[in-house]
Every structure is written in structure tokens, then in C-alpha cells.
Structure 1
Amino acid sequence: IAMPHSIRQRTNPNSPYMRKNGPKWRNQQNSEAVNPTNAYEYGLSFPTGYTAFKALISARVVSAIWSHISDCDETFNYWEPGHYMLYGKGLQTWEYSPKYALRSYTYLLFQLVPAFLYNAVLRPDKLFIFYFQRCLLAVTCSACEVYFYKSVCREFGIHVGRLTLIFQLFSAGMYVASSAFLPSTFSMYMTMLSIGAWYHRKYELAVFLTALSSFLSWPFAALIGVPIAIDMLFMRKDLMKFTKWCIISLCIILLPMVRIDSLYFGRLTVAPLNIVMYNVFSTHGPDLYGVEPWYYYVLNGFLNFNFIYLSALVTPIALLAVSKLVSVNARNPACLPYSLSILPLYLWLMVFTLQPHKEERFLFPIYPLICLCGALTVDAMQKLYFRVFVRTGQHYLHHTSHLVFPTVFITSLLGVTRILALYKGYHAPMDTYMELSKMTAEGNLPTLNYFNICVGKEWYRFPSSFFLPDDRWNLMFLKSEFRGQLPKYYAEESGTSIIPDYMNDVNKEEPTRYGNVTSCHFLVDLDLSTSSEFEPNYSQQIEKWVLVKSIPFLDNYRTRKWVRAFYIPYIWEKNVVWGSYNLLQARKMRVQPSKY
């Protein structure tokens, strides 16, 4: 197994690496990462791009296969329309009604092209399509992360780059976001590419990728590009290049997008404009879907990145302390000022913290920047420690490794324990719905023209129609304590262009969505030993239902927050309170459970 090349190997003209590959950094004099003098002073090992890619893709494929869908928006606004485009059947939310048209079919087409080809050529099971698509997202994320890693090494140095890579590799936040089928995840990919291009001084590419993120996935991702625009317009005075590439991006991305969406919706549609108008200028907007306190992102950030997130919050202070207290060589003037290069993170946090409606996915686009700024803070702490306690020596990295290794170990361990907590506590819905495919494959179902699988309070954990064996299966909603608007099935003919009945943009409950429990063949429910008028404990109604499958599911209400946050062996087993995620079969229908 080849070890990663060190800077000494990469810069020594007599090394085999240099003889084979040539001095790749010869022309990169604007990077503080590539100072040959410093390289000779200390041998700093770091992963090559290929090594980093292998490590990242291993972690991301694990996410693609074992992470659960944590946000119902991913299911109903992306997987379900995607299922409709592939198979002609799926659930439609009000955002896809031509009357409102907040979502873009172009984005879905762009993401699902490989799935279309895979399905057309091999006709696999729908579950294979689901996980195939997720694995593609994992590969895409890994490639973007490698580019970002190389860019960080170039702009901030090898040490900051390798810390950033490690933080990304083991963070629960990147685990959750990397394979999610969400616009905010695509914007995260584009953040890594656009910021990476910016750090490489490829301004044309940076502008184009920012536009791709803003138009195709999420208009608010344009906020990430504000510092790039500041750099081009006010520092480099390059108005012509900025304007030129804005126009090129508009023509290449937005115009075809408007054409495609208009064909699907049956009327002129500019989806990015519609979503901005609804979220910013409407009288109701996103606040209808819940509001959170200002500290929501602090708590959520700690869960997903632990101390890395807290470190990222104080990066400007740490860098200021280094500039005032530590006598270091001045940064290469070709490097971007810190006040600009890390500005996207704090600009994003400021804007989204001020919004009443907060969601975990809203921070996905800045997840890589959290890792970067966390790494910058650790690097700054090393310099400060060296200045205060050592003062003399060859290089601060020689004398501060005892600070780095515990930091990396603790943050990585916390990240892994959070990932394990998510899997062990909340993966049950995915496994429960897989049971349906097993039963179908084993021939344990009666010959019926259709099957109704019902959900009440557990509607938002439905993992998508990809988990229903074939087109005979229908999801049916039962009335619960939830009082918002639920999706409905697309019309069979011209489903994307027909304005569906009984849809609104104010999250008002639509009683027409509910079916009768007597029509259910199967029912999925969470048994927490509680019941109410609209949420009876179906699992206890043994005269009506037979238990087919039961999987433990963490009870959030009866488990302390500090216990459920991270998986700690023995403590979890002793303190976590479990419910049962149950697949129930109506007694009126004779069905044999699967063998496994």
C-alpha cells in the first residue's frame, strides 16, 4: 500500500515522485500551501487526491446505503415526483401544482438521467433504482470534496487542508447531507466547486457554478457567491468578466430551465423566481411550517459537527488573535484576505439565523465551510500555543501535534457516535417498508388488483414510493393529530400540467386526503403505548390487525436528549426508551409474513 506523499517528497527534485510527475506546484506561487523552504524544514504528510477520494467515497457510500431519510420534504418534493417521472405514479405536493410552480422539474431531470438510463436498460427493482441514485449522489459528493480539499490546501496550506478533510470525513452532518436528494445538498456540492474554483482564481468557473446552484437547485444559494462578486467587482475591478459570465450563465442555465419547466407545467414558469416570491414577498410564506428559536442552529450544528461547529463560530476571533499576538511571516499577498475567503459561512449563518422558519437542511450548503473554519481555528490555536509556551523551534507543527491528535480523535469519535445513534435510533421506517418487497418476492401476498398501505401519524416518515413493490400499491393517509396539508397522487393523464383540486399554499388541512381505515390492507404505525382520538394505538387492536414486522424505534419523548444525541455503548442500552415501529396486516386479508 503506497503511503501518501509528503511535501518533502513532492518538492525534492531528486525524489521519484518529482521525476515521474514533475514539479506540479512550480507555477502556483500565489499559494501559501506550497512554500518549498517550509517543506524542507518539516516533512508534512498528507493524502493525495486519489487517497482522499477512496476514503471519502467509502464514507459516502455508507451514508447512501444506511442513512435514513430525515426530512419529509426530501420524500414528497423530490423522491415522489422523481418516481412519477420514472413510473408514471407518485405523490404531488402543492409546490408542484402549476398554479404555484415553486419546484423545478429541470432539477429532477438533471439528477435522474442516470436512473432513467438504468431503468430503461435493465428494468431493475425500484429499490435498486433508489439506492443506485443515492450511490451516484455519494460519488458526486466525494468528487466535489476532493476538489474542495485540494483548493483549501492551495489557499490555506496543507495542514488546514488535511484537517478539513478529516473533519468532513467523520462528521455526522456530511454523513446526513452527502446522499440526500435535496436542492440544498446539490447546493452543497456547488459550494465546494464554486468556492474551490474561487480559491484557484478560476473566476469564470466560480461565477458559473454559483449560478448553477442558484438557478437549478436553490435561489438563496446565491448568497454563497456574494464574496466572489465582491472580490471581482471591488478588489479586482473586473466588471466586464463578471457581467459577461453572469449573462453566459443566464443563457446556458436559466433559459433552458424555463423552457423545460414551462413544458411540464403547461404554462410559462420561472421556478426560481416563484420560490423567492413565495418565501420573501408573500404574506404567509415558510413560517406556516413552524418557527424555531435563534439558537436552533447552534444546537443543531453541535449535533452534526460537535466541537468543530463551535470552533468555526470563533474562527474570526482566533485569526485576529494570531495576527496580533504571533509573529509570523506575512501571507502571500496573492492569497485572499481571511475576511473575504471565509465570509460565505458567516454571511449564511447571519441571514438564516434571523429567519423564524429554520430547518436542518438549510445549512447543508455551508457544511464544508464549517469544516474549513473549524480547521482554521485549530491551526490558529496551535500557533497561539507555540507562541505562548514554546517560542523557539523549527516550526509550530513540530511542537503542537499533541494538541491536534486528541482534537481529531475526539471530534471524529463524536461524529461516529452521532452517526451510530441516528442509525440505531431512527432507521426502522426504511427497514419496515422493505418488508413489503420481501413479502412480494416470496409470493406471500394474495392475488389482488391493488393494496392500500395506510399511515396516520407516521406519514412524514414514509420513505417514498420506491419502497412499494409495484404499481398495485397505494399509500393512503388516515386522519391524525396533524392539521396541515398532505400531498395527493398525480393525475394519470397530463399530471404535471393539470391544476389539481383541493390544493392551497397556506398549509390548510384538506380532508379529501384521508381514507377510511376499513380500506387498509396494511398499516404502518409507531407504538409508543399512547393513544388519542385521532391517533389510536392500532398495534393494540389485535382483533383487527396482525403484527407482521416490528422494529425498535427510539422514543424521543421519554429518552433524555443527552442520552439519545450520541451512541455510547452500555449507557444507551440502559437509558434509551424504545417504541416499536410496526407493520400491521388487516385480519380480513390472509398474508404470511416473510421468512426473514
Structure 2
Amino acid sequence: MPLSSHTSSGTTSSSSSNDVDWQWPFLVASSCLAPLHVAVRISLANRMPIMDCDESFNYWEPLHFLLYSNGYQTWEYSNTFALRTYAYLMPLVGLSKGLETILLSGTDLSWLWPLLTEQPVGGNNKLALFVLLRATLGAWMAWAELSFVRAIAEHAIPSKETKQRRSFLRMVALVTQFLMLTSAGMGHASAALLPSSTLMGLWLFAAGAFLRRQHTHFIVLAVTATLAVGWPFGVALFVPLGLAVLAREYSHPESSMMTLFAKIGVITGIIQGLVMVIDYRHYGRWVSPVWNILVYNTKAGGDELYGIEPLSYYIKNILLNFNYVAVIGLIGTMAAPLLLPSNDLWLLLVPMLTWIVIVAPRPHKEERFLFPIYPAICLGAAILSVYIVQKLTVWRTASAQKNATRTATVFSVILLGVIWGPAVLISSSRIAALMKYYSAPLKLYAELPAFVKDPHDSAIAPISICTCGEWYRFPSSFYIPHKSLSFGFAPSKFGGQLPQPFTSYGSGAKSAALRAFNDKNVPEPGSYTTFQKCDFLVELSTSMDSCTESLEEGYEWQAYLQEPFLNADNTTEINGKRLIGWPGRTFSCSSRLSRKELLPMKATVT
């Protein structure tokens, strides 16, 4: 039966003596969880691996170009196609300028780096900036999550609501926060520089504004997420709540629909105008990447060129990142309208169903496409679990007389701990596994500054770092400390199109004559560095054969630095080693930095 706030006669119901009082556990836990939430997000930001090469090449590399005038360009940023908006990167450009001022001021930050990362940061200001930017992204997501759960706990509850109902909503907020905080999926999505991650954060803020009935705030966030992030498909997440906003305004006697639509039009015009001005500056022509990417993804053969996966791909990823929380969350999403018929809370779960209907049938699937629904999974699971526990507790303590409320509350907290304790352990193990088994490329590239003692010494010849089959694990040019080191893609067995170095013209019209790109995922010669020019090679110990060229006669690759790595190709998706960070060094291979060495001459016997 639904958690109703009214009796059959229409009068306000009173709390029975054995109702659960969530007030004190909520106050105690929320006061402790808020700082912990921020600390965990910041701490994990640079300890979790970069899971998607799209993050490195489509966002960190263009940002590096905007800051340092060099980096790698993908075909989406070419003047011919213009699928990506530079507006998305502008906030980070401004933030980077401020952080660079601090880094160049000589301020001693040696105490800070061990708190943020396990990578060696000293001596590489670019890497230090990268670490600070990712930590900031993690902190921003924590802010969004805390704003979301606070809105759930304190959103406008009518005065007729009972104490039991208010307590119920507060505990739902607390469990939602707890599940988001401990989720492996939220752990690596929170600090990712990806439109889907940013969309998730903006949706969290917008959902909070919706619950608080801050409609102007909601409109600004929804329009920004649709037009300025560069991923217009996310509008589907805001449409259900947007329709609810329209219904509220229409039913309000003092509201004017004409005023509301005028407000939407003005906000849309301002944001779209700013985005187009920014993109005009970088592309040299009036262009709408939002429109271009919509057209590209609707035409036949678009994103399917980059891989096709069955529906089971999403199911496996959700289970890896959320374990049984995902199952309970989906059930809770379907049941929420019945459990909370007179509450706006269940409306927050509708976008998840809308999103699944949109992304699930598409042949091309990526884990990042699911990021926007991660909070809703946690909310759905929280609603169902708290509802069931509250009903079980009332039944369990129905015969109790003395201290019934306190007994019910303690029993409920213990029961919730029993329900979610195993999920927390599994998620924590998954987080440990990601950090332990997949962070080797970050640690390896972070060691690059050690190769050049003095980058200003003209006697030191430039050094070239290359990779073949491991191109998609290159974290970004922020790991290349100075111009004495360069990075390049050596010819490999990979048959798709690779990024190419930005020209001084960036995405301007003149760059099209210097860099040839295509939208067919066909290799372009300008992407490759001749194998003989490579001084170092980054590869897995099991993928050295991915290089299609050979060294000059008399040379060979000698392992210079190795970091343990788990080869996912040799494990299943739901595999103990892949899911759990077991103690010990149980790795299937290593990420290896090899140096080109001249073989010693063999003495000849005459």
C-alpha cells in the first residue's frame, strides 16, 4: 500500500507510537557523510583510471591545446565536421588560468599531492594542473550530489504531512547519498571530463531545483545541459521534469504561461548565443555543433562505425558498477508511483526509464552513455528499501509498548545495514580493483619527467615516446611535461582513424588544408610517427606484436619501466579478479615502457 499522509476521512493521520523516527539517525549520519562525501570524490578523482579514450582525446586534448597551443585533434573538431563545441571547455580554461597562477607562484604544495594522487607530480606543472582539475571535477560532483540529497530531505513538504512521512523522506535521502558515495560507477564517472558526466551533475542540480520548486533555476540548468555541454541527447532527461514544471505553473493561479515561455525563450537565446559566439571564434564560421552531432547520429552508419554491442553489454556494466543495487533500483523505479502517489519524488525516476528506452536500442554502446542515470538507480533502490524496512519495522514492533519508537528506529537502521552492507563491500572491492589493476598507464606516463633532467639544456636531443596498440590508454598531453619530449602513434594493427596533432590554426578553416580528416573511421597518414623515430615505446607486455613496423637492424626494445596491469581480454566481465581487488600482485601482464637500445656487437672468432 502507498505511504499515504491522509486517513480515509481526509484528516491528517497521526504517528502511531511504534512509528520509525528517522530524525536522529539522519542528523547524525548526514553531518558525518557530507565532508566524507567531498573527501572521497576528491581522493578518487586521480586514483581511478581514465576509462574512456573519448575523455582523453575529445576533451583533455583540446583543453591542452587551448592552454598550451599543442595537443591532439580528433576529426570531430575539424573545421569540416565541427561536432564538438568549445563552449564546454571554457569554464575549465578559466579555472586553469587561476590554478596555473598558483602553481607558478612557487607556493609549496608538496603536502597536497599525496592526498590527491599516487602519481609522482613534482617537477611537472602540467601534470599538477591536470591533477587539480580532476580533483575540482570530483568536488563539483560531490556538491551536486549533496544538493540533490538535501533537496530530497528538505523539499517543500505540505504542512499536512505527518512526522512519519517527513522522516521517511529524510531516510530516503540518506540511503541515496550512501549508495551514490559507495558506488563504483559513481566513483569513476564523477571526475570524468565527459559530457555524460557533466550532464549527470547538471541533472542532480536541476532535480534539486525541481523539488524546491525553483523553476527559473531548473530552466537555466536544463537549457545549459542541452545546448552548452555538446550532448543534446541529454534533453530527454529534462523533458519529464520540464512537463511537470509546466503543469505546476499552469495550475498556479498567479502564474502566467506567456511569462514562463518568454523566460524560457530569453534563457535559451542567451545561452545559445554565447555558445555560437565561442564556437565562431574557434571554427572561424557560424556553426552549431549541437545540430551537427544530432544529424551525424541520426544518419545511417554514423556512430556504428565505432563498434556494435548487444544489449547484454549494458546489463554487464550496470551489474559491475552497481551489483544488486541496480536490480533493486529498477524495481524501485517501477514501484515508486505506487509507493509515493502524492509526492513529486517519483517523478525524478521517470527520466531513467526515458533514457533507457533511448540508448538501449542503439547499436553503438558505451559505458559512459549510462552515467546520467546512475543517481536515479540509487534513488530507486533507496525508496524501495526504506519503504519495505519501515513496513517490516512497524509490523515487528506492533506489540511493543515501552520505548517502541526507539526500538523501531534501531531495528530499521540495523535492517538497512544488513540489506546494503554486502553491496558496499562489493562496490568497494570493485573500486579497489579499478585502482589496482587499471591505473598502470597513468603511473607510467607520470614517470616521463625523469627522462630529461634539464629541459632547457640545448645539448639534450628531443625524445620521442610512441605507442602502437595501446594508443587508447594515452591519458593526455598533460603527462608530456615539456617540448623536449614528444608523443606519437606508431603504425599498428588498429584499422581506424587516430587523432592528429593540432595545427597552429586549431579548428579554423586554414587547418583543413593541413590536416585531412574523415567521418568514415578510415586511417589517415598524418596520424602516424615513423617507428624508427621512436626512442621509447609504451605497450602491454602482451601487445608488443601490435606494432606493424620493425626497428632498424641492430636495435631492440629493452624494458625500462613496468607497472602491473590486468588484461581485460583475458577475463570475463563478472570475474573475481576483475570485480574484486584481491590482496597480492595477481596481474595477467604489465604496462611497459621500453627503451630502444643498440645491441652489443658480437665478437667474431677467426
Q: Deviations over 1:380-423 (max 9, x none)?
A: 33245347766666566554333211223211111110011001
Match of 1:534 in 2: 548
User: Is the CA contact (8 Å cut-off) linking 1:450 and 1:473 kept in structure 2?
Assistant: yes
- Counterpart contact for 2:444–2:593, Cα < 8 Å: yes
Higher mean alpha-carbon deviation, 230-239 vs 515-524, is at 230-239
Paired position in structure 2 for 1:136: 136
Counterpart amino acid of residue 71 in structure 2: G
1:584 equivalent to 2:602? Answer no
Tell me by how many angstroms 1:148 deviates: 0.6
**1:72-221 counterparts in 2 under 5 A?**
72-120=53-101, 122-123=103-104, 125-155=125-155, 157-217=169-229, 218-221=231-234
- Out of 277, 280, 304, which is 1:262 matched to? 280
Where do residues 366-405 of structure 1 align in structure 2 (5 Å cutoff)?
366-386=373-393, 397=409, 399-405=411-417
Q: Secondary structure at the match of 1:457?
A: coil
| 1:157-556 paired onto structure 2 within 5 Å | 157-217=169-229, 218-234=231-247, 236-237=249-250, 239-240=257-258, 242-280=260-298, 282-319=299-336, 323=339, 333=342, 335-336=343-344, 338=346, 340-386=347-393, 397=409, 399-441=411-453, 447-493=459-505, 496-497=508-509, 498-499=511-512, 500-528=514-542, 531=545, 534=548, 543-556=555-568
Matching residue's letter, 1:117: G
Matches of 1:509 and 1:38 in 2, distance apart? 69
Cα distance change on mapping 1:180 and 1:316 into 2, 3 Å: closer
Paired residues of 2:77 and 2:84 also in contact (CA < 8 A) = yes
TM-score (norm 2): 0.82
Q: Is the 8 A contact 1:141 1:189 kept in 2?
A: yes
Note closer, same or farther for the CA distance 1:35–1:445 as it changes in structure 2 (3 Å cut): farther
Instruction: Provide Cα deviations, 1:416-475, integer angstroms capped at 9, x if missing partner.
Output: 100110011110000111111133357899944532111100000001000011023222
C-alpha distance in 1 between matches for 2:554 and 2:578:
34
Matched position secondary structure for 1:400: helix
Does the Cα contact within 8 Å between 1:456 and 1:478 map onto a contact in 2?
A: yes
Q: Structure 1 317/389 Cα, relative in aligned 2: closer, same or farther at 3 Å?
A: farther
| Residues 50-84 of structure 1: per-residue CA shift (max 9 Å, x gap) | 64431111111112221111100000001111111
Contact kept, 8 Å, 1:521 with 1:589, in 2: the verdict is no
Structure 1 residue 160: deviation in Å? Answer: 0.4
Secondary structure of the residue aligned to 2:25 is coil
Q: Which is worse superposed, 440-449 or 235-244?
A: 440-449
Residue in 2 that maps onto 1:20: none
Q: Secondary structure at the match of 2:591?
A: strand
Counterpart-to-counterpart distance in 1, 2:572 and 2:372: 30
- Distance of 1:311 and 1:449 partners within structure 2: 59
Aligned partner of 2:233: which letter? F
Matched, 1:563 2:576: yes
In the TM superposition, what is the alpha-carbon distance from 1:545 to its structure 2 partner? 2.1
Correspondence for 1:17: none
Higher relative contact order (CA 8 A, sep 6+): 2
- Quote the RMSD (CA, aligned, Å): 3.1
Inter-CA distance 170–450: structure 2 relative to 1 (3 Å threshold) = same
- Alignment partners' CA distance in 1, 2:323 and 2:377: 11
CA distance in 2, matches of 1:127, 1:264: 25
CA distance, structure 2, for counterparts of residue 491 and residue 355 of structure 1: 35
Contact 2:103/2:125, CA 8 A, preserved across alignment: no
Q: Retained in 2: the 8 A contact 1:204–1:241?
A: no
Question: Does 2:62 match 1:45?
Answer: no
Residue 294 of structure 1: how far off its partner (Å): 1.2
Deviates more, 1:165-174 or 1:492-501: 492-501
Q: Distance in 2 between matches of 1:488 and 1:114?
A: 26
Aligned partner of residue 69 in structure 1, secondary structure:
coil
CA deviation digits over 1:559-579, x for unaligned, max 9?
A: 354123322535x75xx4421
Shift of 1:118: 2.3
Specify the SS of the correspondent of 1:586. strand
For 2:267, the aligned partner's letter is: S
The DSSP-based 3-state class of the residue aligned with 2:593 is strand
Q: Which amino acid aligns with 2:239?
A: V
Contact 1:52 1:146 in 2 (8 A): no
Give the drift of 1:171.
Answer: 0.8
Paired-residue identity, %:
30
SS at match of 1:474: strand
Alignment of 1:19-38 (within 5 A): none
Contact 1:208/1:245, CA 8 A, preserved across alignment: no
Is the 2:18–2:397 contact (alpha carbons within 8 Å) kept by the matching residues of 1? no
Superposed CA offset, 1:235-257 (max 9, x none): 54264354233212212211111
Deviations 1:175-224 (A, max 9, x none): 10111111111111101100110011111111110111111112111111
Give me the whole-angstrom Cα distance separating, in 1, the residues matched to 2:73 and 2:546. 29
Instruction: Identify if the C-alpha distance between structure 1 residues 581 and 533 changes in structure 2 by more than 3 Å, giving closer, same or farther.
Output: closer
CA distance in 1, matches of 2:549, 2:424: 40
1:106 and 1:39, CA in 2 relative to 1: closer, same or farther beyond 3 A? farther
Distance 2:333 2:546 in 1: 51
1-side partners of 2:537 and 2:506: how far apart? 30
Tell me which residue corresponds to 2:108: none
* Residues 1:529 and 1:95: Cα distance change in structure 2 (over 3 Å): closer
The 1:559–1:447 alpha-carbon spacing in structure 2 relative to 1, beyond 3 Å, is farther
Measure, in 1, the Cα distance between the counterparts of 2:131 and 2:445: 14
Q: Which runs of 5+ in 1 are unaligned?
A: 1-31, 324-329, 591-596
Whole-angstrom CA distance in 1 between matches of 2:35 and 2:499: 40
* Segment drifting more, 544-553 vs 556-565: 556-565
Answer whether contact 1:184 1:365 (CA < 8 A) is retained.
Answer: yes
Secondary structure of 1:45's counterpart equals helix
Q: Give the match for residue 65 of structure 1.
A: 46
